[in-house]
Structure 1
Amino acid sequence: MLLVQFLVIAKGRLLAVAYINKHFVLNSVMIRDKNFLTHNFIDKILNTGVIREGEDECFWTDAFFTSPSDMESFMGKFNVEIIDHIGTDGISPYLRNAIDEMNDEEYNAWIYYNLKSCREKSILGMSNHGLLLCKKK
């Protein structure tokens, strides 16, 4: 898979980079379909992050998954400063039924928790989607 290795952005401007976490993908896919609960699938996602439509271990379409630390390393190749790193949905996709059944007070508390924890480095990789906010130096 080709990764773009150049960045054109004016000095001082913001860049938002969204990505899908490989650790969320592994957990999510293996829970839904035990056919993917294999060492080969785990190694494929952890080592390459790449799936291609038509391959045995493709559960979706052509895709690339990564991790928070890999994204920070990748962005380090450019002349940018990382100003924020956020897990945009946390574990909410796993809890969709419970969240749907929450009353307003419970839902507000859930949102409060997500806003408090979305930058917690120890759980960034468990969020389905990550978001890096960078500034051109």
Structure 2
Amino acid sequence: MKKGGILAVAYINKFYILPHILTGANRLALHDNLINKVIDNGVIKDGEEDCFWTDAYFSTSIEMEEFLSCFEVEIIDHAAIDGLTPLLRKVIDNMNEEYKIWIDYQLKTCREKSILGISNHGLIVCKKI
């Protein structure tokens, strides 16, 4: 990447996996071994007994920032893409006029560190230095 180039890095937050399993169709995948695997190393592999999806790597917002610090980039933005939306999906899907208020809330809170820590997806935008 050239100096001044922009890099966008998306990731799936490992702390979202348990709420995802609990609220989705993958409840059978919920067991200690899977949760320990996701929290401890963030990796699941297709074909493994406790794999609920496909080959995947899950991270945290802090781990991603630490990883990117190994490169010649400056983080210029870091946002929670989903925030709490997936956990409130049924309520949000039934909103009408309130939906704009929800979107405004999302935009105002998507950079809040505590929300970054639970959002399903995160996005980090970097600039090559």
- Does the pair score TM above 0.5? yes
Aligned to 2:106: 114
Aligned counterparts of 2:84 and 2:51: Cα–Cα separation in 1: 23
Pairwise CA RMSD = 1.3
Structure 2 matches for 1:91-102, cutoff 5 A? 91-102=84-95
Q: How far off its partner does 1:36 sit?
A: 3.5
Q: How far off its partner does 1:126 sit?
A: 1.0
Check the 8 A contact 1:21/1:129 in 2, yes or no.
Answer: yes
Check the 8 A contact 1:26/1:45 in 2, yes or no.
Answer: no
The letter for the 2-side match of 1:14 is I
What whole-Å deviation, never above 9, does each CA across 1:28-53 have from its counterpart, x for those lacking one?
11443444333222110011111111
90-99 vs 22-31, which deviates more? Answer: 22-31
TM-score, length-normalised on structure 1? 0.87
Please identify runs of 4+ aligned residues in structure 1 that moved more than 2 A: 30-39
Aligned to 2:17: 25
1:88 to 2:81 alignment: yes
% of aligned pairs identical? 54
The letter for the 2-side match of 1:50 is V
Aligned to 2:127: 135
1:44 to 2:41 alignment: no
1:14 to 2:10 alignment: no
Q: How far off its partner does 1:110 sit?
A: 0.3
Aligned counterparts of 1:114 and 1:30: Cα–Cα separation in 2: 23
Q: How many residues align?
A: 128
Gaps in structure 2 of 5+ consecutive residues = none
Aligned counterparts of 1:71 and 1:59: Cα–Cα separation in 2: 23
Aligned to 1:124: 116
Aligned counterparts of 2:74 and 2:41: Cα–Cα separation in 1: 26
Q: How far off its partner does 1:84 sit?
A: 0.7
Check the 8 A contact 2:42/2:57 in 1, yes or no.
Answer: yes
Aligned counterparts of 1:14 and 1:26: Cα–Cα separation in 2: 32
